Amino acid sequence: MTPEDLARYFRERSPWMNRPHSPDGFKVGDPARPLTKVAVSWKPNWEALRRAVELGCEMFIGHESIFVDATVGSEFDPPQYHELERDKAQWIRESGLCIYRCHDTIDYWPEIGIRDAWAKGLGFSQREVPDPLGPYALCHLPPTPLHALANQIVRKIAPLGQNGVMVMGDPERLIHTIVTGTGAITRPFEMHRYQPDCYLITEDYFRVVREGEWLREIDAAMIMVNHGVSEEWGMQAYCAHLQATFPAIEFVFIPHPCLYRIQV
């Protein structure tokens, strides 16, 4: 089994991908090398990459980019990293790791993909997915005050390292429906078509001065969580799926807890 064999498996099971515009693919390393151990983690930050090497992994499967500005294609040829990231790039080359970005591939896999694993992990069992190849799920709840729903979400995500959430709206408002997204794909204008009582947003790419003010203008309820936290359960589920599918290889999950805390 080689990295290319795994990549073929990913491609064959994700027909929704727009391949010419997808960031998925090999970023660095030899895709033909034999595999015995593979690391799976949300973000190939330096800490996670070092841990993968310490564990003896030959391949690293990450959901997000290696560098700040990287998008489609290799992040090394041509270089897509900033001068301040050069040391990290050099270390990666010297490590010999084969790094594969698995982003669009797993967003919409039923049950174990990022979208479904997020709603499922929050305990939202009654949910509709209007578009199976889209980022949103409309979840139905017993009538729950906004403040109680926010506390419920905090309890669920606390083991992932997030100790609080940001909340907008009347704390006593009863919430019957909440719309969830897929990672950073939580665009309020798109979510609005489902007429939810509450919007569950991630902070990356959300602009308080624009989308935030619009949500306030329409008197919406909103709960905001960390981007990485919202995808952690999906990455855990994907690692377990790969282990069950390819038992001859050891797959190691490297956690990515929330990188900040909320202090009040």
Token couple for 226:
């960390």
Average pLDDT over residues 4-29: 90
Band of the pLDDT at 21, cuts 50, 70, 90? confident
Q: What is the pLDDT of residue 15?
A: 82
% of the chain residues with pLDDT over 70: 100
**How many CA atoms within 13 Å lie on the side-chain side of 62?**
22
Q: What is the pLDDT of residue 38?
A: 99
Give me the percent of the chain exceeding a pLDDT of 90: 86
* Model pLDDT, residue 56: 98
Task: Evaluate if residue 60 carries a pLDDT over 90.
Answer: yes
Per-residue confidence band for 215, with pLDDT thresholds at 50, 70 and 90: very high
Residue ranges and CATH numbers for the domains of the chain are: 3-107+231-253 (3.40.1390.30), 115-225 (3.40.1390.30)
Give tens-digit pLDDT for 89-121: 999 999 999 999 999 999 999 899 999 999 999
Prediction pTM value:
0.94
User: What is the token pair recorded at 61?
Assistant: 């499967």
Do 203 and 227 meet the contact criterion of CB atoms below 8 Å apart?
Answer: yes
> What CA–CA distances, in Å, run from 236 to 40, 73, 117, 240, 241?
8, 25, 9, 6, 9
What stretches of 96-245 show up as alpha helix (H) in DSSP? Answer: 104-107, 114-121, 146-157, 188-191, 213-217, 227-245
pLDDT above 80: residue 9: yes
Inter-CA distances, 69 with 23, 167, 258, Å: 12, 30, 21
Looking at residue 80, what is its pLDDT?
79
